[in-house]
A and B are shown apart, each in its own frame.
Chain A
Amino acid sequence: MEWTFIDTWIIVVGALSAAACALLGNYLVLRRMSMMGDAISHAVLPGLAIAFLVTGSRDSLPMLVGAILIGVVTTLMIQGIDRLSGLDRGASMGVVFTTLFAVGLILIRQAADHVDLDPSCVLYGAIELTPLDTATLLGYDIPRAAITSGMMLLFNLVFVIVFFKELKITSFDPALATTMGINANVMHYVLMTLVAATTIAAFESVGSILVIAMLIVPGAAAHLITDRLGTMLAISVVFAILSAVLGHISAITVPVWFGFQDTSTAGMMALMTGLLFLLAFLFSPRYGVLSRVVNQMRLSLTIVGDDILGFLYRYQELAPADAAPVTVSEVKKALKTESGVSLMVWNLGRKGYIRQGEAGLSLTASGEEAGKGLIRSHRLWEAYLCNIMGYCDADVHRHAHQFEHFTDTGLQKQLSERTGNPDHDPHQRIIP
């Protein structure tokens, strides 16, 4: 497939509108109003249709006015039904946006007689055709859609920067915002209006249904990666742009691999936001599912390693000097576990903590040092639990066994001071 300037423009238009959506979408995700985006993007349909019917053209300005009106009306209606009816918010949304969508479908069917307008083009956009409809700006031929989306992006960017503090406070703590003199309600309506306007600006490129993918998925993915709002905004915009680029490229390449022709760029863009979300969902360093699993495994391996060192230290402490070294299978038996023991024996050997001779395992000098630290923590904890807290039953060992793994030298010192620098633990073992 030949890459032409058309492909470049498709990506530019897609990236601009996706970024404009993603900026606002962050706040929808944070305010737990993602489905408001869905409701509004369905509900703008009658706004569009009325603008078509009234003006008989596809000018941007009347459509924008229609969108803003319908944004406010939808928000008001959902809030009204929510408050008056005792239905839950989801049902209120469902009633309002499906009704508006039905009205929109009927109106568009009527409008289609007068204006050149294809319902499916409104619903899934026609990004492939946008580069053909150009306007001249500063002496260049630029697709009209790029200008619209670019302006929308600029506007949203300015809004988000100027009202950064207000948006942040109203999103996280509306009650606090009210006490600080920021009207949370006004911010809510402004945000919803902007969402409606952005939806309209983006409808030409991605269509009024797929726009919800652009609105919330990048923001949701960014939310999985970071806890800082500024970073989240930036990441979501990067994701939006990435999804536009990857979306178009995969739209013209992926189907070909399977023997098909190309497919809808808008659909692929939505799919790519989903893919990026999936990556964040799995691999985000902090909240990713796999990352959490890996971290847990790493922690349990560390504990197994600690237990091996502790066991070897205790063995050397008790066994006569000429006793045979311990074998790996004996360690497994003593720790009552199979998993990870061989791996950690290998790892500790690599780090130089234990020696693996023909007969079995023994601690090196540095290994003995590490084991000593662990056992000291363990016995200090036992002393603390028993002497200070008066908690002397058989469980003492079990608790100390858990605490020993995250006790550093500072805590050791404090424990020691608090227990009066004892020489022996409650089991009459020497505290090293």
Chain B
Amino acid sequence: MNNRRPTTLKMASILLVAMLLMVAGSMAAIAGTGHTESADDFSTELLRVFTFQDYNTRVVVVGTTLLGLAAGLIGTFLVLRKRALLSDTLSHATLPGIALAFIVMTLTTGDGKQLPALIAGAAVFSVIGTLSVLAIQRFSRLKDDAALGIVLSVYFGLGIALMGMATRMDAGNAAGLSSFIYGKTASMLFSDALLIAVTALVAAVASILFFKEFSLVCFDADYGNTQGWPVGLLDFLMMALVVLVTVIGLQAVGLILVVALLIIPAASARFWTFRLRTMLWLSGVFGALSGFFGSGVSALMANLPAGAVIVLTASLFFIVSLVFGSARGLVRISIDRMQLRRKIMNENLLRDLHEWMETASDGNAVGPEIRQLLSRRAWSPSALRRTVKRLRRQQMLHHGPSMSLRLTDVGTQSAREVVRRHRLWETYLITHADVAPGMVDLSADRIEHVLDPLLIDQLEATLADQTGGELPRSPHELVAEKGVP
């Protein structure tokens, strides 16, 4: 653990700096978009956008918020099923479907831009793409990463080639097709928003109805199989929902960024909780908020691609969650680790003092000085001094005559607990694990801090005949002066 800590910290700081730099860079870019309006105008504008006074903005903001919600909900299962990148492949694979549908519709009806046909084409090809991934995994020696990459790039290439043909067609107007790649959030129509609303409803209903089934598939599909659940069918349903959100989200935020909406909110929600139910609705909320603020900001500032801003908002949530998440956030983890370190140092000092008193020739002997304690184990003078100070604050020890340290009654009580745990474990190692008595001190030293009370009781019951009494004897000889005096 001591080895890992510095690298983890270093990694965390590098990560933070890199992410902050990036966000700062894009903020600078956003700020530099050349707004010359006065602050007054800006705040009216802000009010106008976020109170939905403008019909167009209203449609866009509501549409993206609902899309974020739907993607956040479904994305939870996707991320937990460890299939985040499958959604990337799936969304890239829709492109040939869109282009093909466009060409076919242009040739048959004269008008290529018919949304139902394009969406159907996208859905068909995302399914074909998924099947291709499965086929490559199943029938060749290549691993899933290669299968994903191959399908992604080759289908996308096919899509680009078909788009090239479509844009050079005499009939039909293919100008809007590229909106499927980058998205065209700002020009979202009411019908688009309605479609998204229906999708969000389906996603929400499915996540609630199939909550238990989906979580089973995510966490232990094999167990589900043995219990007779139709795991394959549930998996298919889950992927169908992913496809639905992807193809509906395509023209809103574009095929690359819809992936972000599926992955990032779910990944962020994971830092706040260990419970799937909480994670699910949190992820939905994160997605919805990203859509809301992202589209709002891009409505405020011209020249900002809305899809990208929505994703950056989601990324901002991710960074905040990564750092401050209450379950797995970096701050939380560091605090936990620090508390554990402190607890260990406290207990070490208490035990050292207790053993000192035990080995002293006279029960009323003067306690050890800091200098003498220092030689008993490998800790730095400053760490020891801090620990002494902490224990004095807790009324565990007091200074005796001539700089010596003595346990108070409360301190003795706690120290006896620690010593008891230590010796019980030592005895256990000697009697049940055949460890030599000279070796047990160090192993017990590591584990005594994390033994829970239940285990202690069990140890006591198991070893009752050997330890005897409230405070077990030390199974090995105690020395008054350990280490170099």
Chain A residues near B (Cβ < 8 Å)? 29, 32-35, 37-38, 42, 46, 50, 73, 76-77, 79-81, 83-88, 90-95, 98-103, 105-107, 109-110, 119-120, 123-124, 209-210, 212-213, 215-217, 220, 223-224, 251, 255, 258, 260-264, 266-271, 273-274, 277, 281, 287, 289
Contacts and interface: CB of A to CB of B under 8 A. Distances in A.
A95 B318 contact: yes
B165 A255 contact: yes
Contacts of B152: 38, 212
A35 B149 contact: yes
Given A34-B146, A85-B267, A281-B136, A103 B312 contact: yes
A273 B154 contact: yes
Contacts of B197: none
B315 interface: yes
Contacts of A101: 256-257, 260, 308, 311
A277 B141 contact: no
Contacts of B307: 102, 105
Contacts of A281: 136, 139-140
B464 interface: no
A289 B150 contact: no
Contact of B159 (A81, A220, A255, A267): A267
B150 to A, nearest CB: 5
B32 interface: yes
Contacts of B160: 124, 210, 264, 266-267, 270
Interface stretch (B12-20, B186-194, B277-285, B375-383): B12-20
A37 B256 CA distance: 15
B312 A102 contact: yes
B158 A83 contact: no
Contacts of B372: none
Nearest to A104: B308
Contact of B22 (A29, A99, A124, A270): A99
B142 interface: yes
Given A99-B260, A216-B150, A287-B141, A84 B157 contact: no
Interface in B393-422: none
Contact of A90 (B25, B82, B139): B82
Contact of A264 (B25, B164, B312): B164
B33 interface: yes
Given A88-B84, A91-B84, A212 B153 contact: yes
The majority secondary structure among interface residues of chain A is helix
Given A94-B84, A270-B161, A287-B140, 17 more contacts: A38-B152, A93-B85, A98-B256, A99-B311, A102-B309, A105-B308, A106-B26, A119-B182, A213-B153, A217-B150, A220-B142, A220-B149, A261-B169, A263-B162, A264-B161, A270-B160, A289-B139
Interface string B22-63: 100110011011000000000000000000000000000000
B29 A274 contact: no
Interface of B: 8, 11-12, 14-15, 18-19, 22, 25-26, 29-30, 32-33, 79, 82-85, 87-88, 92, 136, 139-143, 145-146, 148-150, 152-165, 168-169, 178, 181-182, 256-257, 259-260, 263-264, 266-267, 270-271, 303-305, 307-309, 311-312, 315, 318, 322, 328, 330
Contacts of B181: 123
A94 B260 contact: yes
A106 B307 CA distance: 10
Contact of B164 (A110, A123, A267, A273): A267
Given A84-B322, A105-B182, A273-B154, A95 B145 contact: no
B263 A106 contact: no
B154 A34 contact: no
List of 7 A-B pairs having minimum Cβ-Cβ separation, nearest first: A270-B157, A274-B154, A267-B160, A98-B260, A263-B164, A267-B161, A213-B153
Contacts of A76: 11, 14-15, 18
B312 A91 contact: no
Nearest to B322: A85
A286 to B, nearest CB: 9
A32 B146 contact: yes
A77 B17 CA distance: 10
B215 to A, nearest CB: 17
Given A95-B264, A270-B154, A100 B304 contact: no
B25 A103 contact: yes
Given A99-B264, A102-B311, A261 B165 contact: yes
B15 A102 contact: no
B315 A109 contact: no
A32 B143 contact: yes
Nearest to A86: B328
Contacts of B150: 34, 213, 216-217, 220, 274, 277
A287 B141 CA distance: 7
A81 B322 contact: yes
Nearest to A217: B150
A105 B29 CA distance: 11
A262 B182 CA distance: 24
A34 B149 contact: yes
A258 B103 CA distance: 12
Contacts of B309: 102, 106
Nearest to B30: A106
A80 B161 contact: no
Contacts of B305: 105-106, 109
A81 B15 contact: yes
Given A106-B304, A274-B157, A77 B141 contact: no
B157 A103 contact: no
A107 B84 contact: no
Given A267-B161, A268-B157, A91 B267 contact: yes
A255 B167 CA distance: 12
Contacts of A37: 149
B85 A94 contact: yes
A264 B163 contact: yes
13 contacts: A33-B145, A77-B15, A80-B12, A90-B84, A95-B260, A99-B264, A99-B311, A212-B152, A213-B154, A224-B142, A271-B154, A271-B158, A289-B140
